Amino acid sequence: MRDLDQIPRNSLAWLLVAQGIILAPHVGHAPFWIWGIWLIVIFWRWQIFRGAWGFPGQLVKFFLVGSCCAGLYLAYRASFGMETMVGLLIVGFILKLVEMKKRSDLIVICHLGYFVIATQFLFYSNLLAALYGIISLVVLTATLFASHQSLAQHRFWRTLKLTGILMLQAVPLMLILFIVAPRIGPLWAVPSNSAGAQTGMSDSMAPGDISNLMRSNELVFRVTFEDLAPLQSSLYWRGLVFSYFDGRRWAQSQQQLSRADVSWPESASPAWRDQLQYRGDSTDYEIILEASGQPWLFSLAAAESWSHDDAGLSRSLNLQRKRPVNQRIQYRVSSFLDYRFEADSLEPWQRRQELQLPANNNPQTRRIAQQWLAESGASPTALVQKLLNHFNQGFRYTLQPVSLGEHSVDEFLWQTQEGFCEHFASSFVFFMRAAGIPARVVVGYQGGKLNPLENYFVVRQREAHAWAEIWLEGQGWIRVDPTAAVAPERIEQGADDSLSEEDARLLRNGFAGQFPLFNTLQLRWDALNYSWSRWVLGYDTDVQTGILQRWFGGLDPWRLVLAVICLVALTILCIIGVMLWRQRKQYANPADRYYHRFCNKVARTGCVRRTGEAPRDYAQRLAIMRPDLATSVRRITELYEWVSYADNQAALKDLKEAIGVLKVSAAK
Amino acid sequence: MISPRTLTSSFRRFFGRWAARRCPKAPTVRLQHKSIYVLPTRQGLLFIFVLAVMWLLGTNYQNNLVLATTFLLLGVMCISILHTFKNLSGLRFTAIGCRPVFAGEYASFEVLVEPAAKSSHENVIVSFEDHVSLAVDLAQGSEQRLHLSTKTHRRGWFEPERLLVKTIYPLGLFRAWSWIQLDMKALVYPNPLPSAMPPVKAETSHQGELSSPENNEDFQGFSRYQNGAPLTHIAWKKFARGAGLYLKDYTGYQSQQVWLDWDSLTGLDVETRLSQLCYWAVELAKTRSEFGLRLPDCVIDLGSGSAHQEQVLRALALYGLKTPSVQGVRYA
DSSP string, A574-606: HHHHHHHHHT----SSHHHHHHHHHHHHHGGGT
Of A490 and A503, more confident: A490
Res B332 pLDDT > 50 = no
A323, A450: one domain = yes
Under 8 Å between Cβ of B161 and B327: yes
The candidate with the shortest Cα–Cα distance to A656, out of A609, A606, A601, is A601
A360, A421: one domain = yes
Instruction: Kindly state whether A178 is in contact with chain B, defined as any CB-CB distance less than 8 angstroms.
Output: yes
Q: Tell me the nearest-neighbour CA distance from A4 into chain B, angstroms.
A: 8
Res A651 pLDDT > 70 = yes
Res A511 pLDDT > 70 = no
Question: Would the CA dihedral through A121, A124, A126, A128 be positive or negative?
Answer: negative
Chain A residues 585-614 with a CB less than 8 Å from chain B: 585-586
A222, A289: one domain = yes
**Interchain proximity A186–B69, CB inside 8 Å:** no
Within-domain flag for A71? yes
Res A494 pLDDT > 70 = no
ipTM of the complex: 0.77
Res A79 pLDDT > 60 = yes
How does the average pLDDT of chain A come out, rounded? 84
The candidate with the shortest Cα–Cα distance to B105, out of B163, B154, B159, B162, is B154
Q: How far apart are CA A494 and CA A499, in angstroms?
A: 10
Cis amide prior to B135 (ω within 30 degrees) = no
**Interchain proximity B64–A144, CB inside 8 Å:** no
**Interchain proximity B68–A178, CB inside 8 Å:** yes
Disruptive mutation site among B57, B59, B67, B76 for chain A (greatest number of A CBs within 10 Å): B76
Contacts of A271 (CB under 8 A, 6+ apart): none
Within-domain flag for A528? no
As beta bridge partners, residue A222 has A288, A458
Res A2 pLDDT > 80 = no
**Interchain proximity B117–A585, CB inside 8 Å:** yes
Res A345 pLDDT > 50 = yes
For residue A1, what pLDDT band results from cuts at 50, 70 and 90? very low
What's residue B207's pLDDT? 47
A272, A401: one domain = yes
Between the alpha carbon of residue A120 and those of residues A198, A365, A458, B3, the distances in Å are: 19, 54, 26, 49
A320, A421: one domain = yes
**Interchain proximity A118–B57, CB inside 8 Å:** yes
Q: Which residues of A touch B42 (CB under 8 A)?
A: 104
Structural element, H or E, at residue B179: strand B174-180
Show which of A135, A154, A173 is a domain's final residue: A154
Res B69 pLDDT > 90 = yes
Res A294 pLDDT > 90 = no
A36-45, pLDDT tens digit by residue?
999 999 999 9
Q: Which residues of A touch B72 (CB under 8 A)?
A: 137, 167, 170-171, 174
The candidate with the shortest Cα–Cα distance to B288, out of B274, B315, B308, B314, is B308
Q: Is A276 exposed, middle or buried (0-12, 13-18, 19+ CB in 10 A)?
A: buried
DSSP letter string, A134-198 = HHHHHHHHHHHHHTTS-TTT--HHHHHHHHHHHHHHHHHHHHHHHHHS-----SS-----TTS--
Res B328 pLDDT > 50 = no
A128, A233: one domain = no
What's residue A8's pLDDT? 80
What's residue B213's pLDDT? 46
Show which of A477, A499, A521 is a domain's final residue: A499
Closest residue in A to B60 (Cα) is A186
Work out the angle between the directed axes of helices A421-434 and A380-392 (0-180°, nearest 10).
150
Within-domain flag for A571? no
For the segment A345-370, the average pLDDT, to the nearest whole number, is: 86
Q: How far apart are CA B77 and CA B50, in angstroms?
A: 12
Chain A residues 326-365 with a CB less than 8 Å from chain B: 327
A125, A205: one domain = no
Within-domain flag for A205? yes
For residue A608, what pLDDT band results from cuts at 50, 70 and 90? confident
Under 8 Å between Cβ of A479 and A316: no
Work out the angle between the directed axes of helices A33-50 and A82-99 (0-180°, nearest 10).
10
Res B24 pLDDT > 80 = no
Q: How far apart are CA A72 and CA A66, in angstroms?
A: 10
A368, A221: one domain = yes
Provide the 3-class DSSP secondary structure of residue B8. helix
Res A197 pLDDT > 70 = no
For the segment B203-220, the average pLDDT, to the nearest whole number, is: 48
Under 8 Å between Cβ of A428 and A482: yes
For the segment A392-417, the average pLDDT, to the nearest whole number, is: 82
CB pairs under 8 A between A and B: 164
What's residue B246's pLDDT? 78
Number of domains in chain A: 3
DSSP letter string, A40-85 = HHHHHHHHHHHTSS----HHHHHHHHHHHHHHHHHHTTT---HHHH
For residue A165, what pLDDT band results from cuts at 50, 70 and 90? very high
For residue B229, what pLDDT band results from cuts at 50, 70 and 90? low
Q: Which residues of A touch B78 (CB under 8 A)?
A: 170, 173, 568, 572
Show which of A457, A473, A499 is a domain's final residue: A499
Chain A residues 254-313 with a CB less than 8 Å from chain B: none
Contacts of A589 (CB under 8 A, 6+ apart): A643, A644
What's residue A193's pLDDT? 58
* Pick from A69-83, A409-423, B190-204: least confident: B190-204
For the segment A239-259, the average pLDDT, to the nearest whole number, is: 86
Range of the domain at A224: 196-499
**Interchain proximity B65–A540, CB inside 8 Å:** no
**What's the helix, strand, coil split of chain A in %, to 5?**
55, 15, 35
A363, A485: one domain = yes
Within-domain flag for A524? no
User: What is the number of H-type helices and E-type strands within chain B?
Assistant: 6, 17
Res B211 pLDDT > 50 = no
Q: Tell me the nearest-neighbour CA distance from B63 into chain A, angstroms.
A: 7
For residue B250, what pLDDT band results from cuts at 50, 70 and 90? low
Q: Which residues of B touch A22 (CB under 8 A)?
A: none
B257-301, pLDDT tens digit by residue?
788 888 887 778 888 888 888 888 888 887 777 888 888 888 888
The candidate with the shortest Cα–Cα distance to B177, out of B316, B314, B41, B328, is B41
A65, A139: one domain = yes
The separation between CA A274 and the C-alpha centre of its own chain, rounded to angstroms, equals 37
- Does the predicted model carry a pTM greater than 0.95? no
User: What is the number of H-type helices and E-type strands within chain A?
Assistant: 25, 20
Q: Which residues of B touch A150 (CB under 8 A)?
A: 122-123, 135, 137
A133, A201: one domain = no
Within-domain flag for A569? no
**What's the helix, strand, coil split of chain B in %, to 5?**
35, 30, 35
Q: Which residues of A touch B70 (CB under 8 A)?
A: 118
Q: Which residues of A touch B65 (CB under 8 A)?
A: 121, 125, 129-130, 133, 536-537
Cis amide prior to B170 (ω within 30 degrees) = yes
Between the alpha carbon of residue A71 and those of residues A60, A75, A77, A87, the distances in Å are: 16, 6, 10, 10
**Interchain proximity B135–A1, CB inside 8 Å:** yes
Of A479 and A190, more confident: A479
Residues of A with active-site annotation: 421, 465, 481
For the segment A145-165, the average pLDDT, to the nearest whole number, is: 88
Residue B182: DSSP 8-state: B
The separation between CA B305 and the C-alpha centre of its own chain, rounded to angstroms, equals 25
* Pick from A171-175, A185-189, A252-256, A630-634: least confident: A185-189
Res A52 pLDDT > 70 = yes
Within-domain flag for A66? yes
A463-473, pLDDT tens digit by residue?
888 999 999 88
For the segment A543-552, the average pLDDT, to the nearest whole number, is: 81
What's residue B205's pLDDT? 44
What's residue B219's pLDDT? 59
The candidate with the shortest Cα–Cα distance to A194, out of A80, A308, A73, is A80
Q: What is the dihedral of CA B71, B77, B81, B86, to 10 degrees?
A: 100
A265, A357: one domain = yes
Within-domain flag for A536? no
What's residue B45's pLDDT? 95
Chain A residues 564-583 with a CB less than 8 Å from chain B: 568, 572, 575-576, 579, 582-583
Amino acid in the structure at residue A24: A
Rg, Å, chain B Cα set: 30
Most trustworthy range by pLDDT among A531-545, A631-645, B73-87, B157-171: B73-87
For the segment B301-314, the average pLDDT, to the nearest whole number, is: 86
Q: How far apart are CA A245 and CA A422, in angstroms?
A: 13
For the segment B170-189, the average pLDDT, to the nearest whole number, is: 89
